[in-house]
Structure 1
Amino acid sequence: MNNRQSSLRIALVCNTAWAIYTYRRGVLRMLTRQGAQVTIIAPRDRTFEPLIEMGCRCVELPVASKGTNPREDLKTMMALYREYRATRPHLVFHYTIKPNIYGSLAAMLARVPSIAVTTGLGYVFIQKSRTAQVAKRLYRFAFRFPREVWFLNRDDHQAFVDENLLAHPDRARRLHGEGVDLDEFALEPLPRREDFVFILIGRLLWDKGVAEYVEAARRLRQRYPHARFQLLGPVGVDNPSAISRTDVEQWERENIVEYLGEANDVRPLIAAADCVVLPSYREGVPRTLMEASAMGRPIVATDVPGCREVVEHGVNGLLCEVKSADSLTEQLERMMTLPLEAREAMALRGREKVAHEFDEKNVVERYKSTIHAITGISL
């Protein structure tokens, strides 16, 4: 390793440090092993400590994820501008809406090259609100400046093209999901027991289809007392679509769902489940579904951008209509009543699909080649 390599400075900016730690650990390991100085810029949470242990430098960032207060957003942009001016990173990767918009602007002002990674379009493309319209206009302006704009699925890329949000369409690239570590998420045999366990993993947001999941659980629990419905993930998060702890407690009192809280390691909970469910309204490429398939769990998800990248209907899972408790109920019942041999075949096909399309090693190589192309520094 030469001195130029050891002095490579890379920054990753997101609205949660948790997402960087959870979804991009393979990239972080590669960068720190190669001697790069890696800075994580995000609101402080419990993952700052493990990120620092990995060799990263962590900088706390003020981000109001729910708000549309221009003063707060300007504070975010100026904090990033000052950080970029002070540390002069060779390249910055921005993730999620506000870092994508205000980070791209801050990087341009600081004359630092950046890449915007659209990890999923969320409420901006689900809702028809004034806030969503403002966000699209900001995207259109801010995305003039990144060297590249990465999309995790073809639907999101096409949405930006259709809405004329890309000033430089030639800078758009597709990263087919953010990958999964196939050794870490090893194949596990399906449980053999009387109970049938469904689990929904993710931030508890209405946009994730939690209301439809709860309604389907309410109906199926009456007919199939051995069916169990679990929720795993943070509640009351800083997001316009957040579900409150009060809602979850009410569902628990009704004996509809089991709330498992949060987990640093989801693997034992995936292994203990028969089926992983994600009735989301829109996704980038959902990490939980890639991890579930890698571990050999059949999936029920909505036929929407992101989910259909991972799930092939009848092959490694089942797809249902979006925002339809009726359709979700039907597909959950179908999954539960399939013979074990049919679900085991789905499980193996899911593992094969993830190994072929979503191996994290390919994502890490993409980061390495892009960093080299933009900075001239090899890793």
Structure 2
Amino acid sequence: MHVLLTANAAWNIFNFRRPVVEDVLARGGRVTVVAPPDEAIGELRAMGCDTVPLEMNVKGLNPLTDLALMRQLRTIFAVVRPDVVLSYTIKNNIFGALAAKSVGIPFVPNVSGLGTAFLSGPVLRGLVEALYRAAFRGLPVVFFQNSDDCGLFLDRGLVRENQAQVLPGSGIDLERFAPVPLPGGDAPVYLLIARMLRDKGVLEFVEAAKIVRRTLPTARFQLLGPADSANRSAFAETTVRGWEKTHGVEYLGTAPDVRAQIAAADCVVLPSYREGAPRTLIEAAAMARPVIATDVPGCRAVVEKGVTGLMCAPRDVATLVDAMTAFAFMPDHRRTAMGLAGRALMESKFDQALVARAYREAMASITSRPLA
């Protein structure tokens, strides 16, 4: 079976969709990745994937550039002729679905988050909903990463019940992200791993850090992830580095492997406005780290409030401060128990084998060509 995967960045496929890629390759299938090239292209080729560069503007909606993207995808699909296309990220899902329909190739999108459009005003949200409705009409399967997003698409008539399936996020390699004892010590280390975007709650984290340090001056606050990204809500790297002086927040830059940073942290924090199934919280929980997250769709899917972590309100610095302070005064045995509960949750519901199997079954049903 020839499987084509497309997303708005090659690193997205390599970092988040690797279980599906590895499963297809291990069973004798062929994989082609269609995405804007970046540092992950070499890694994907080393795995055995073919790659095709994709030119796209990931920011905003522009009718001319998005029409060009759809035509480009249609040309690629027609030339490569895969048995099935697996798609991730908003524009690839919408315009990829329309392109695949036009050349008669089965298409399976994964709604891994709603993006800034659903957090914007009614005009933009209405336009995006109309595009989703047209793109997803008639598709046999639409995967979601949490039940909240699935319910929203069903309520708005963007998909039908017989199309929608909810996955446990992107899955997690439980052996690679093995549990590690908490570092301990008198000063808690709070770590936020994400692209430096406003929608990830980065500003709330920074403001909360400044307040918490007034009563806990030895506490450490760290940011890990790319700045200056191609996103409308991105912070410039100069701004992020400036927070080191103004707010006492350490910027760690980026890392191809985040396990060392998670192991050195006492708590992983994500005050995001909305998520699909946040990978950073899944990785943290797999390594037995307590988490602090916003009580929003996506985060709720991977955090059990008061059991595996604490929760705060979105866009609310005060409740984030309360959660950070509560964690700081939490006894060691409670922190350890919370981390171990997170690990148990990942083992029971988020094993990457569950995601690979769901895709394998969907592709077999659609193409009538099961993988070995």
TM range (shorter): over 0.9
1:220 corresponds to which residue?
212
Report SS of the residue matched to 2:162: helix
The answer to whether the Cα contact below 8 Å between 1:201 and 1:233 also exists between their aligned partners in 2 is: yes
Gaps of 5+ in 2: none
1:128 corresponds to which residue?
121
Verify: 1:197 aligned to 2:189, yes or no: yes
Report SS of the residue matched to 2:165: strand
1:47 corresponds to which residue?
40
2:298 corresponds to which residue?
306
- Residue by residue over 1:302-338, the C-alpha shift from the partner in whole angstroms, topping out at 9 and shown as x without a partner, is 0000101111111010011111000000001101110
1:376 corresponds to which residue?
368
1:353 corresponds to which residue?
345
CA distance in 1, matches of 2:55, 2:317: 37
- 1:81-96 matches, cutoff 5 A: 81-96=74-89
Report SS of the residue matched to 1:330: helix
1:246 corresponds to which residue?
238
- 1:1-379 matches, cutoff 5 A: 8-128=1-121, 130-166=123-159, 168-379=160-371
- Which shows bigger deviation, 289-298 or 128-137? 128-137
- Which shows bigger deviation, 170-179 or 227-236? 170-179
Report SS of the residue matched to 1:124: helix
CA distance in 2, matches of 1:351, 1:33: 27
TM-score in terms of structure 2 length: 0.97
The answer to whether the Cα contact below 8 Å between 1:293 and 1:354 also exists between their aligned partners in 2 is: yes
CA distance in 1, matches of 2:153, 2:87: 17
The answer to whether the Cα contact below 8 Å between 2:206 and 2:247 also exists between their aligned partners in 1 is: no
CA distance in 1, matches of 2:303, 2:26: 34
The answer to whether the Cα contact below 8 Å between 1:123 and 1:132 also exists between their aligned partners in 2 is: no
Q: Report the residue type matching 1:327 in the other structure.
A: T
The answer to whether the Cα contact below 8 Å between 1:124 and 1:136 also exists between their aligned partners in 2 is: no
Report SS of the residue matched to 1:53: helix
- Residue by residue over 1:283-317, the C-alpha shift from the partner in whole angstroms, topping out at 9 and shown as x without a partner, is 01111111100000000000000101111111010
Q: Report the residue type matching 2:178 in the other structure.
A: A
Give how far 1:255 is off.
Answer: 4.6
Give how far 1:192 is off.
Answer: 2.2
Report SS of the residue matched to 1:368: helix
Give how far 1:129 is off.
Answer: 5.1
Report SS of the residue matched to 1:169: coil
The answer to whether the Cα contact below 8 Å between 2:207 and 2:247 also exists between their aligned partners in 1 is: no
Alignment RMSD (CA, Å)? 1.1
Report SS of the residue matched to 1:63: coil
Give how far 1:164 is off.
Answer: 2.0
1:4 corresponds to which residue?
none
- Residue by residue over 1:321-363, the C-alpha shift from the partner in whole angstroms, topping out at 9 and shown as x without a partner, is 1110000000011011100010001011110011001011111
CA distance in 1, matches of 2:300, 2:323: 15
- Residue by residue over 1:130-183, the C-alpha shift from the partner in whole angstroms, topping out at 9 and shown as x without a partner, is 3332111111111114221111111101111222222x4321111121110000
Give how far 1:45 is off.
Answer: 0.6
Q: Report the residue type matching 1:11 in the other structure.
A: L
CA distance in 1, matches of 2:68, 2:40: 23
The answer to whether the Cα contact below 8 Å between 1:11 and 1:92 also exists between their aligned partners in 2 is: yes
Give how far 1:34 is off.
Answer: 1.8
The answer to whether the Cα contact below 8 Å between 2:9 and 2:38 also exists between their aligned partners in 1 is: yes
Q: Report the residue type matching 1:378 in the other structure.
A: P
Q: Report the residue type matching 1:206 in the other structure.
A: R
- Which shows bigger deviation, 70-79 or 336-345? 70-79
- Residue by residue over 1:182-219, the C-alpha shift from the partner in whole angstroms, topping out at 9 and shown as x without a partner, is 00000100002233110000111100111110110010
Q: Report the residue type matching 1:281 in the other structure.
A: Y
Give how far 1:48 is off.
Answer: 0.3
The answer to whether the Cα contact below 8 Å between 2:58 and 2:91 also exists between their aligned partners in 1 is: yes
The answer to whether the Cα contact below 8 Å between 1:62 and 1:75 also exists between their aligned partners in 2 is: no
Gaps of 5+ in 1: 1-7
- Which shows bigger deviation, 232-241 or 276-285? 232-241
The answer to whether the Cα contact below 8 Å between 1:198 and 1:228 also exists between their aligned partners in 2 is: yes
The answer to whether the Cα contact below 8 Å between 1:156 and 1:284 also exists between their aligned partners in 2 is: yes
CA distance in 1, matches of 2:348, 2:136: 31
Identity percentage of aligned residues: 45
